[in-house]
Amino acid sequence: MIGLGFRARQAGGAADSDIGMLDISANALAVLILATMLVLTVASPPTPRGEVRSDDRPELFYPSPLDVAVVPQSAYWIVTDAGMTLLDLDAIAVGLVDGAAVAATAQAEATLTMDRRGYRDLNDHRMSLNLEWGALRDTALPITTTQEAIDLSTLVTDAFVNTGQVPTFVVTPAGTEAFSAIYWDLRAQQVPTRWVPIEERTPLVFTRRASNFETRSRQWQ
């Protein structure tokens, strides 16, 4: 009995020692897991937009693609020598919503063509806008000074950051020079930007057809 009792106490001590080690190692593991979670939370994630691994950003760089699941909504700006005007496409849509082929607003006259003989998708369309250049000039936000250019690029940047809205600029030759300040400022902020040159008195045409998706087209820059 004595021998058995002694051996039992000895064995119990070994078990306590194992449990103690188990306790220590489990706590150590918990501390490591907590430390890992803290590091993952606190450490800054790598910049998602970029193409080459490098410590420094090049002085002059190609715009990184915007890899998003859904293409962002676009705001269309008309740039003339008088400045920038936001094209009110909602007003045009209101005029066309009842099935009319032509709608006129203060900014443009829109003609919507939905040719059902050659369509592939139900929403294939072509919309031609004859812009009212005088009205666009009258309501333009000027870009004559550096501060005005900074204010306008801030306006566009905020729209991208807060609402995911990206700009498309339709630029006349006379507006190209003033627009360059806004363009390079938006590029420095990495705001995805598109711009297309247009001659005055030329219709602005929007299309949606299969070729828009099947060919390599200009993406957001």
Partner 1 sequence: MRISRTISHGASYTALVDILFATIGVFVIVFALQDVQPPQDLQPAPYAHLVLCEQGQVLSYLSAGSDTVTSLAIDDLDNGRLEERLMQGGRVLVALAGDCVRKDGANSIATLLTKLETTLSARPATGAAPLTLFEFSPLGQGEMGADVLRQRFLDGGGA
SS3 81: coil
We find the least distance from the C-beta atom of residue 104 to partner 1, in angstroms, to be 27
Tell me the C-alpha to C-alpha distance, in Å, between residue 105 and each of 78, 79, 134, 207, 217.
15, 18, 13, 20, 30
Residue from 151, 173, 205, 211 touching partner 1 (CB under 8 A): that is: 173
Residue tagged 């030329």 (tokens): 202
Residue from 84, 86, 112, 175 touching partner 1 (CB under 8 A): that is: 175
d(CA 125, CA 209): 7
SS3 157: helix
154 binds partner 1 (CB under 8 A): no
We find the least distance from the C-beta atom of residue 146 to partner 1, in angstroms, to be 9
Residue from 199, 201, 213, 214 touching partner 1 (CB under 8 A): that is: 199
Residue tagged 């003989």 (tokens): 117
Residue 202, classified by CB atoms within 10 Å of its CB into exposed (0-12), middle (13-18) or buried (19+), is exposed
Residue 125: which of 137, 112, 106 has the closest Cα? 112
Q: Which residues 18-77 are close enough to bind partner 1 by CB under 8 A?
A: 18-19, 21-22, 25-26, 28-29, 32-33, 36, 46-64
Nearer to partner 1, 42 or 60 (CB): 60
We find the least distance from the C-beta atom of residue 17 to partner 1, in angstroms, to be 8
15 binds partner 1 (CB under 8 A): yes
We find the least distance from the C-beta atom of residue 12 to partner 1, in angstroms, to be 7
195 binds partner 1 (CB under 8 A): yes
Sign of the CA dihedral running 162, 168, 174, 180: positive
Give the range of 7-15, 101-109, 131-139, 150-158 binding partner 1 by CB under 8 A. Answer: 7-15
Phi/psi of residue 110, nearest 5 degrees: -105, 135
We find the least distance from the C-beta atom of residue 83 to partner 1, in angstroms, to be 15
183 binds partner 1 (CB under 8 A): yes
d(CA 26, CA 87): 63
Residues in contact with partner 1 by the rule CB under 8 A: 4, 7-8, 11-12, 14-15, 18-19, 21-22, 25-26, 28-29, 32-33, 36, 46-64, 171, 173-181, 183-184, 187, 190, 195, 197, 199, 216, 221
